[in-house]
């Protein structure tokens, strides 16, 4: 699919790519615009835009609060689709949507994929939808060429990784540890062994997220993975210092 091609083109000139995460509508779409401009100007290779959901079960307290505040402000899926279309036209990097399955289900799966394709969205991360529970969803992903990004975890067996890989496209998202987003991760020997298992299970690029906070973390996974995912840390930064702080932070990550 297009997403993998775009990422591999970038990997030809970079040792590791950066993917960032924002929650749409938090603290506002205007701030989202400012943050994305800062991210792109400072070398981000891919951006994961979260459509807010009331029960984001994979997310820690920082992203959970952002989801709740965005929903309280009235953010809709239609707003997110329109924003995604605006960003994909403005910037020459791949944009993905991350959300939970109930959003796509209530919206209507085919309509969701149609609108993603129209908006120029290159991939989807739906952490609560395993392939065996979403046969039609994954068929539509292939039909509309919106890459379904699947997730490996340290608890995944080799057999399960192989099953997930058979349905995945774009890249594989490797969570760095058990639990939810936002906590510090340990990139020691056990993590290296885990990433080696991930690498053996797929030919897709590997992204690592959950707990990447600084340049030391990015350096720790360089050479082992292809993409470093920074999520909660940029939201904390915007909360503390405003969107203008994002650019220097991103520029210092690699």
Summarised one tens digit per residue, pLDDT across range 139-182 is 999 999 999 999 999 999 999 999 999 999 999 999 985 544 43
DSSP string, 143-189: HHT-EEEEEE-TT--HHHHHHHHHH--S-EEEESSSS-TTS----SH
pLDDT for residue 186: 59
pLDDT for residue 202: 98
pLDDT for residue 239: 95
Can you say how many angstroms the Cα of residue 117 is from the centroid of all Cα atoms in its chain? 17
Cβ pair 69, 26 in contact under 8 A = yes
DSSP type of residue 203: S
Annotated catalytic residues are 48, 59
Q: Residue range 223-237: average pLDDT?
A: 94
**End-to-end Cα spacing for the chain:** 27
pLDDT for residue 242: 95
Mean pLDDT, the chain, whole residue set: 94
Q: What is the H or E stretch that residue 17 is in?
A: strand 17-23
pLDDT for residue 180: 44
114: domain CATH number is 3.20.20.70
pLDDT for residue 177: 56
CA atoms of 119 and 170, how far apart (whole Å): 17
For the chain, what is the domain count?
1
Q: How many Cβ atoms are within 10 Å of 197's Cβ, its own excluded?
A: 15
How far is residue 170 from each of residues 69, 122, 151, 234, measured CA to CA in Å?
A: 30, 8, 12, 24
Contacts of 46 (CB under 8 A, 6+ apart): 6, 7, 17, 18, 19, 20, 93, 94, 95, 96, 227
pLDDT for residue 172: 98
CA atoms of 211 and 216, how far apart (whole Å): 12
Q: Residue range 213-238: average pLDDT?
A: 94
- pLDDT category, 58, cuts 50, 70, 90? confident
Check whether 45 has a pLDDT greater than 60. Answer: yes
pLDDT for residue 109: 97
* Domain residue limits at 51: 2-251
Q: Residue range 131-144: average pLDDT?
A: 96
pLDDT for residue 226: 98
Cβ pair 124, 160 in contact under 8 A = no
């Amino acid at each position: 699919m297009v997403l993998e091609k775009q990422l591999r083109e970038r990997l030809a000139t970079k040792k590791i790519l950066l993917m960032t995460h924002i929650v749409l509508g938090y603290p506002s779409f205007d701030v989202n615009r400012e943050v994305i401009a800062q991210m792109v100007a400072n070398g981000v290779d891919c951006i994961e835009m979260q459509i807010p959901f009331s029960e984001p079960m994979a997310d820690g307290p920082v992203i959970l609060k952002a989801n709740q505040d965005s929903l309280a402000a009235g953010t809709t899926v239609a707003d997110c689709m329109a924003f995604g279309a605006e960003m994909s036209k403005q910037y020459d990097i791949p944009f993905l949507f991350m959300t939970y399955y109930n959003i796509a289900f209530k919206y209507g799966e085919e309509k969701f994929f149609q609108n993603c394709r129209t908006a120029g969205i290159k991939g989807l991360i739906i952490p609560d939808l395993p392939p065996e529970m979403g046969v039609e969803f994954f068929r539509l992903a292939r039909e509309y060429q919106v890459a379904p990004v699947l997730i490996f975890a340290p608890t995944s067996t080799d057999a399960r990784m192989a099953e997930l890989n058979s349905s995945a496209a774009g890249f594989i998202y490797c969570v760095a540890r058990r639990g939810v987003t936002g906590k510090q991760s340990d990139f020691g020997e056990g993590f290296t062994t885990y990433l080696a298992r991930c690498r053996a299970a797929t030919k897709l690029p590997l992204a690592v997220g959950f707990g990447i906070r600084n340049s030391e973390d990015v350096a720790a996974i360089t050479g082992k993975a292809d993409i470093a995912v920074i999520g909660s840390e940029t939201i904390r930064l915007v909360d503390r210092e405003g969107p203008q702080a994002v650019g220097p932070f991103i520029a210092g990550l690699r």
